[in-house]
Amino acid sequence: MTRLSVNINKIATIRNARGANMPDVVKAALDCERFGAEGITVHPRPDERHIRYQDVRDIRPLLSTEFNMEGNPIESFVQLVLENHPDQVTLVPDAVDAITSNAGWNTLANKEFLTETCALFKSHGIRTSIFVDPDPQMVYGAAACGCDRVELYTEGYAREYKIDPRKAVAPYLAAAQAAQDAGLGLNAGHDLSLENLEFFIRTIPWTDEVSIGHAIICDALYMGLEKTIQAYLEKIKIF
């Protein structure tokens, strides 16, 4: 059954806009758990424009659900992961100045680096996931790097869904089948929403986890955080 991990980066973005502690990111993470989220995702970047490294240290010991840390495995991120020992680390190839993640890894060109990074995290008992585009070749390449899961970058699906849902999901289904064939777990994330989430899960019901942040926070402005999380859970708990 697919699990919902709430990415709380946008909550930190709102806090950082004023420089104080409102909203309280730690409380928000705990509230997400209390409202039914089955995981919390953070994506700390070097400039700390949303989640700060200290947020990770503050949140980690208080969580009772799965903790997922996303990021480009530069030295500072690697050390933060090893210090806080999340349940899962998701390797994302975002540039330092990227507004948001906008591509998956080329797992063939970066095989040596990804293999070393996966081995390091797995030696500490941390499940590793590699962020990839919906390309079976990249999925098989990720498997060769020794990861446990792949996360499919779903921005393309979300963009094309309004035009033709079946066409939009087709490459993701092929990539998901490749993950299944390679013995990898399957995550998905980026621009998934109440509009497009259920169709994705119905088409790829072996999706282990979806990580959603921006859409949840946008919907929460109108629905409230608790009702929003419940609405997303209803979209994925369909089997």
User: What would the pLDDT profile of 47-75 be if each residue is shown by its tens digit?
Assistant: 898 999 999 999 999 999 999 999 999 99
pLDDT above 70: residue 18: yes
Q: How much is the pLDDT for 97?
A: 58
Q: Which of 1-10, 101-110, 161-170, 194-203 has the lowest mean pLDDT?
A: 101-110
State the catalytic residues.
43, 70, 190
Residues 38 and 30: their CA atoms lie apart, in Å, by: 11
Q: What is the mean pLDDT of the chain?
A: 95
Q: How much is the pLDDT for 96?
A: 59
Nearest to 148 by CA among 157, 160, 139, 161: 139
The tens digit of pLDDT for each residue in 86-115 reads 999 999 997 655 555 668 999 999 999 999
CB 182 within 8 A of CB 144: no
The tens digit of pLDDT for each residue in 138-179 reads 999 999 999 999 999 999 999 999 999 999 999 999 999 999
pLDDT above 80: residue 238: no
Question: Within 10 A of 100 (CB to CB), how many other CB atoms are there?
Answer: 13
Q: How much is the pLDDT for 102?
A: 66
pTM of the model: 0.94
> What is the percentage of the chain residues whose pLDDT exceeds 70?
96
Parallel, antiparallel or unpaired: strands 185-189 and 3-7 = unpaired
The tens digit of pLDDT for each residue in 111-147 reads 999 999 999 999 999 999 999 999 999 999 999 999 9
pLDDT above 60: residue 239: yes
Q: How much is the pLDDT for 98?
A: 56
CB 189 within 8 A of CB 151: yes
CB 60 within 8 A of CB 89: no
